[in-house]
A and B are shown apart, each in its own frame.
Chain A
Amino acid sequence: MFSEQAAPTAQGLLSPPSAKPPTFPRVPVSGYSDCSQPFQLGERSFSRQYAHIYAVRLAGMRPGLEQRARSRWGNDIALRKLSELQAGEKCCVVGTLFKDMQLQPSILQEISEEHNLVPQPPLPKYIQPSDELILEDELQRIKLEGAIDVQKLVTGTILAVYGSEQDDGKFLVEDHCFAGLPPPLPWTGPSSDRFVLLASGLGLGSVSGEALLSTQLLVDMVTGQLGAEGEQSCAAHITRVILAGNLLSQNTQSRDTLNKAKYLTKKTQAASVEAVKMLDEILLQLCTSVPVDVMPGEFDPTNYTLPQQPLHRCMLPLASAYATLRLVTNPYQANLDGVRFLGTSGQNISDIFKYSSMDDYLEILEWTLLAGHISPTAPDTLGCYPFYKSDPFILTECPHVYFCGNAPHFQSKLLQGKEGQQVLLVTVPDFSATQTACLVNLHDLTCQPITFSSFGADSED
């Protein structure tokens, strides 16, 4: 956007300003509705076990999977529960996957005295060739082997397998299928170019302040204080900014003060206090000009389990005076100008990355959409609230834009579904590392990266 429209007016940078300073009104917000109610927790009771969330996940996704199994393998296939299996009979079973991994961090192994083990250091990936897949339904479980990629799949996925039980008690899989893309939503997007800026991983409070200049450039660009009239008119088309998590840096999470004696740490402040003040000032500059949605991330001061609740507005006293600031949950779902956005701050994708052979964040993002669930590894390896009534992470409607924050690079892809679904998949990169944000065009569902790099002392050009 910027390069095409700014080029003709580039000479404006070296000429005196025009006699009458032009104003660029920002495109008005025409339609916004927040659809994140399922992710907002009311009363929180942790006295329940996680069996409930798995039971409702299976019960909720079973009808859709049975329908997909019928359409894929024929209407007359036998749908059996594990307790009804007969050896040698070809049938289809719907259940939850469990991946038995040797390297999976287990608190019981760590504290077990007979092993005398040192706690395992965190690894980038915990997969091993000896991992096994087990299918569970409401009552029983069975080992899976055959035409199924053990390394790729993760615990908690609901899928349908077609095959037969062998004599040794294992299930030989001939084919399997997932829930597939959810049903499409009607498209009521805007008729002209409208942009939404997606950024994540601002990483405030880190030791090095290199990303601060890029953050300030981002803010200045969005508020129209950078560039000549060309850039300013482009920036006026940005209707919203979504900050997808990790506003604070990982450095603010240090817990050294917990181990020291009280008399040494009495006057020290948590690093996150200073970082939140910086965040407040940055958000103040943004909120005076554009609506901002702030999602919490892994290192932000909110709860750890998914769904993360919005940051409290008392932490941002200056910015929360403006109605343009919206503190939202992670995951976040909303209708912006008729376009349905759904996204997370990236914890679900990075958790699947650790336990699966898939390396590409965009591939994992697409896979979660095809599996019909935002975060199948919750609650196994990712903290999750013990829901009992329904699993809010099941995808019931297909969003138009599906994003995840804090990815290593920027990637985007337009996915077309068989029932007319069109989804723009975006992996928003970590801003503190890559200084890149994403501009999503709501009119034609395209996405372009925008990089705010500064020239450091040791860079060549």
Chain B
Amino acid sequence: MASVSVCQYHSGGFSFENCKRNALLEADINKLGFSSPAARKTGTTICGVVYKDGVVLGADTRATEGMVVADKNCSKIHYISPNIYCCGAGTAADTEMTTQIISSNLELHSLSTGRLPRVTTANRMLKQMLFRYQGYIGAALVLGGVDCNGPHLYSIYPHGSTDKLPYVTMGSGSLAAMAVFEDRYRPNMEEEEAKRLVRDAIAAGIFNDLGSGSNIDLCVITKGNVDYLRPHDMEHHLIHTCLNFAHGTTGVLTKAVTPLNLEVVEESVQTMDTS
């Protein structure tokens, strides 16, 4: 069963080599009073739907580090192959690297078979890798694409279980998005209706989940064509209306003005290197 792949698989499961080192580092850092860096997570809403001609994948664009937004416009829809894309929720590094590894292996596999890769192949590769790491790779994925057997959509959990369904949602905002899907999904929708459904599902996640926000990215995959719409929609009107309050909205009780007289001590000019 010789197969060409980028990463050499060890025989025998998870490699615990670095765990002892990490534990020692953690203990040393804590002794000095610092805390080790928190993994950046994509508290997220991702979803996908199968429609008449293909699949529509959707994702929000917020990446959080604890309770702070680390990236306001990160891209959660990852390329796997020309006809297959994958949305990722969970630990940002894990989803990024996992999808890149499988994308690389799938390209080699595709060159070896001489065929366009199938979604079920990508699903197999992802689930076998995640199972091997017993859930320690925190990647929850929505995998979608169109191949010779039609459109396919899978949800893949960090422990390596997968479900093949016509509509799926993942991430912290998945419940809000699933509510929209359960209400309005129909089999064999038209493209515009499917895009509107996915957009509304992600919007539900953005508005009702703290871990999701910013813009909505969409990816429409059909036979022979992919529309990567980034950003498809920017959900910012809610924020802007809140920030402009008219004078006098809040009553003023007292007012004290202290003029600070500053004098210029030193003035220097540094030109920026814009070459």
Do A and B bind?
Answer: no
